[in-house]
Structure 1
C-alpha cells in the first residue's frame, strides 16, 4: 500500500513539474513581449523574422539583447518600422550596432524582459540610467578635457547666442536656418566641434570672406568680435563634444569644490571617498531610510548632496547649498563617473590625452581651479 502511495506521489510530482516546465516553455517561446513587438514590425519586404537578437562585442565584454525589442538598432535592420520601440537610435557618434546599449545606458544586457533589461529589479547592481540623464553614459569612456567653471561655461554659451552664431551654425538641433531678411545660412554643425576638430584660424577666415562678400549672409550675419568674445567662443567650441548637458553638469561640479576632498582619476583631496566610479555604486548596498522617492541611485545621490549626514550616518561632508537645478546637475555628473577600462582600439582621443599625455580633464584658469578645489 505504501509503495503504491509513493508511486502516486511520484507521478503527481512528475506531472506537476512537467506542467510547470511546459508553462515556462510556452511563456518563454510564445508570450514574451519582444516577440509581440517583432510580430508588429515591418520592412519594405514585409514582416521580419521573429527571433532573439543581440549585439555581441567581446572586446567590450557586452552581449546586449536590447535589440530584440529595439530592432531597428540591430546590425543591418535600420529599415524596420512599427511602434515607437522600433524607432532607430538618434544620431550619435558610436554605432549602437557595434557598441551595444549597456556601455552607454547601463542595464542588464542579457535580459529578455523589459523590467530586467532596464535594471528595475531589486539588487541588480547596475540599473539603466534615467532617460533625462542618458548623457551621463558618456562618462563611461570619455572625460571632456578642458571643461571650465560653471560661470565661464555659462558666459561662453551666452556669447555664442549674443553674437548670433546660430544664424549660420547648428548646435544641439538649433540654428543654421535661412531667414526671410537674407541673413543666416546652413553652415557647419558645431555640436561636436571639439570631437571632430575645427579650424583654429576660423576667425581670420571669416573676416576675409566677410570683406570679400558684397551681399548675403557673409555681409549681414557676420561682424568682427572683440578679443574677449573670441576667447569665449573658443571656450564654447572646445566644450562641444556632442553631449552639452553632460559638460554643463561637469562645469557645475567643477564649481562646487568637490575636488578639495574627493579624488577623480587621481586628482583631488583625500578627505572623502574617491569618486572616479561613483556612478557605478550598487543601489542594493545603500541605505535609503532618509531618501525620498524610489530606491534609485539618482535619488540617493541628490539627497546625499542636500543632507549628507542624514543619508550616511558617518558622513563628514557638509550639505551642498545649491539650487535644486544645480543639485540635479551635480547628481547628473556624479552618475557619469562610471569610467571603465577599455581596450586600446576603443580608447577615445580625450582619454588618451588625459591618461597617456597628462592633459587635465578641466580647464587650468584660476577661476576653475578655485571652484574645483576651494569653493
Structure 2
C-alpha cells in the first residue's frame, strides 16, 4: 500500500518523464518537418555549382532559406526561386544543368521583362506563394491558374507555344502585332477584317447584338452549352468550333457562319482567351507603337546585291 505521505511529485514523476519525452519528440519532428523540405536539397547543391563554375565568393555568401520576388504593384509574390535558384545565372551556369537549378534562357524578349519587375508567374503561371512542387505547379482546390506545361497544353488541345503567346497577349492585347506572336497576330487582323465590333462590345466600343468580349478569357466555361461540341468539353474547343460554324454549336445563335479555316478559328480563340482582366499599372502596359516598330525589318537586315555570279552561301 502506498505511503499516504508520498508527495504528489513522486506520484507524477513517471507521467512527467513520459510527457517530457513526448514533448522532445514533437520538437524534433517539427524541426525535421521545417528543414527536410523539397527545396532543402537544391539549396545544398546550388552553392556547390557556383563554386564549381568559379563563383567561389558567391557560393560562400549564399544563405539557405525561402527566397521570393515580391512585386506588390502587380500583386506578385513568387517563391519559385526558392528551388529555381539558377534563374538569373545564365552568364555563369551552362544550360545543360538539370531543373530546377537550370538558368533561365536569355534573349531580347526576356531582357525586356526583368525578373525583379515581372517575377515568374505572370509568364509561366502557377502559384507563386507555394513552397512545394505540387502546390506551385498544380495548386489546390479552387485555384485556376496552373503552371504552363506540355501536359496542360495537350489537355486543352494546345501547344506550349500557343499557351505562351496567350499569356504574352494579356499585356500586349493593344499591339497591332507583337514579335514572336505568330499565332495571335493574324487573329488581330482578322478580327478587324470581319468587323466583329459591329456586334460585340470590346472595351466600351462596339454593338450589343452579341455578348461582350472585353474579358472573354475570364468567362466561366460552366456557362457554355457543350451539347453540340465534338471532342473535349473545354472552353478552347467550344470557341474553335463556334467560330468555325456557329450554327452547329449554338443552333439559336444570331452569329453568322463565317466558316473560318481551322487555323483561323484557333488563332481567334487564342486571342479571345487572352483577353483577361488585369490590374497592372500603366507603366507595365507596352506601347503599341514600339511593338509595331519592332515588327518592321531593319534596313541593315536586307542583303546587299553582289555583282559576283558565284552564289553566296547563306
Cα shift readout 1:36-64 (whole Å, capped 9, x = no counterpart): 44444322336665432221111112111
Instruction: Please tell me the root mean square deviation across aligned C-alpha atoms, in Å.
Output: 4.3
Radius of gyration: which is bigger?
Answer: 2
- Alpha-carbon shift at residue 314 of structure 1 (Å): 7.5
Q: Is contact 2:74-2:280 (8 Å) kept?
A: yes
The corresponding residue for 2:104 is: 88
Q: What CA distance in whole angstroms lies between the structure 2 residues aligned with 1:335 and 1:51? A: 37
In the alignment, structure 2 segments of 5+ residues that lack a partner are 1-17, 154-159, 292-314
> Is residue 2:71 matched to residue 1:57?
yes
For residues 240 and 138 of structure 1, do their structure 2 counterparts lie closer, same or farther at Cα, with a shift above 3 Å needed?
Answer: closer
- Alpha-carbon shift at residue 279 of structure 1 (Å): 1.9
> Is residue 2:275 matched to residue 1:275?
no
The corresponding residue for 2:201 is: 263
Q: What CA distance in whole angstroms lies between the structure 2 residues aligned with 1:113 and 1:295? A: 30
Q: What CA distance in whole angstroms lies between the structure 2 residues aligned with 1:114 and 1:299? A: 29
- Alpha-carbon shift at residue 134 of structure 1 (Å): 0.5
The corresponding residue for 2:169 is: 139
Query: How does the TM-score come out when normalised to structure 2?
Result: 0.59
Cα shift readout 1:178-218 (whole Å, capped 9, x = no counterpart): xxxxxxxxxxxxxxxxxxxxxxxxxxxxxxxxxxxxxxxxx
> Is residue 2:297 matched to residue 1:326?
no
For residues 143 and 80 of structure 1, do their structure 2 counterparts lie closer, same or farther at Cα, with a shift above 3 Å needed?
Answer: same
For residues 140 and 286 of structure 1, do their structure 2 counterparts lie closer, same or farther at Cα, with a shift above 3 Å needed?
Answer: same
Q: Secondary structure at the match of 2:276?
A: coil
- Alpha-carbon shift at residue 333 of structure 1 (Å): 0.9
For residues 103 and 318 of structure 1, do their structure 2 counterparts lie closer, same or farther at Cα, with a shift above 3 Å needed?
Answer: same
Q: What CA distance in whole angstroms lies between the structure 1 residues aligned with 2:30 and 2:225? A: 35
Q: What CA distance in whole angstroms lies between the structure 1 residues aligned with 2:284 and 2:122? A: 12
The corresponding residue for 1:73 is: 87
For residues 240 and 287 of structure 1, do their structure 2 counterparts lie closer, same or farther at Cα, with a shift above 3 Å needed?
Answer: closer
- Alpha-carbon shift at residue 294 of structure 1 (Å): 6.3
- Alpha-carbon shift at residue 95 of structure 1 (Å): 0.9
Q: Secondary structure at the match of 1:73?
A: coil
Q: What CA distance in whole angstroms lies between the structure 2 residues aligned with 1:240 and 1:95? A: 18
Q: What CA distance in whole angstroms lies between the structure 1 residues aligned with 2:121 and 2:28? A: 32
Cα shift readout 1:44-102 (whole Å, capped 9, x = no counterpart): 3366654322211111121112223332336x786455314423144222112321123
> Is residue 2:120 matched to residue 1:101?
yes
Q: Is contact 1:253-1:333 (8 Å) kept?
A: no
Where relative contact order (Cα < 8 A, 6+ residues apart) is larger, the structure is: 1
> Is residue 2:122 matched to residue 1:117?
no
Q: Is contact 1:78-1:88 (8 Å) kept?
A: no
For residues 57 and 315 of structure 1, do their structure 2 counterparts lie closer, same or farther at Cα, with a shift above 3 Å needed?
Answer: farther
Cα shift readout 1:259-295 (whole Å, capped 9, x = no counterpart): 3322222222212222222223355x45585566667
Q: Is contact 2:138-2:146 (8 Å) kept?
A: yes
Q: What CA distance in whole angstroms lies between the structure 1 residues aligned with 2:113 and 2:86? A: 15
> Is residue 2:30 matched to residue 1:30?
no
Query: How does the TM-score come out when normalised to structure 1?
Result: 0.51
Q: What CA distance in whole angstroms lies between the structure 1 residues aligned with 2:85 and 2:231? A: 33
Q: What CA distance in whole angstroms lies between the structure 2 residues aligned with 1:120 and 1:307? A: 35
Q: Is contact 1:110-1:117 (8 Å) kept?
A: yes
Q: Is contact 1:71-1:77 (8 Å) kept?
A: no
For residues 313 and 344 of structure 1, do their structure 2 counterparts lie closer, same or farther at Cα, with a shift above 3 Å needed?
Answer: same
- Alpha-carbon shift at residue 342 of structure 1 (Å): 2.7
For residues 351 and 28 of structure 1, do their structure 2 counterparts lie closer, same or farther at Cα, with a shift above 3 Å needed?
Answer: farther
For residues 324 and 347 of structure 1, do their structure 2 counterparts lie closer, same or farther at Cα, with a shift above 3 Å needed?
Answer: closer
- Alpha-carbon shift at residue 348 of structure 1 (Å): 2.9
Q: What CA distance in whole angstroms lies between the structure 1 residues aligned with 2:250 and 2:34? A: 42
Q: Secondary structure at the match of 1:267?
A: coil
For residues 240 and 270 of structure 1, do their structure 2 counterparts lie closer, same or farther at Cα, with a shift above 3 Å needed?
Answer: same
The corresponding residue for 2:240 is: 302
Q: Secondary structure at the match of 1:251?
A: helix
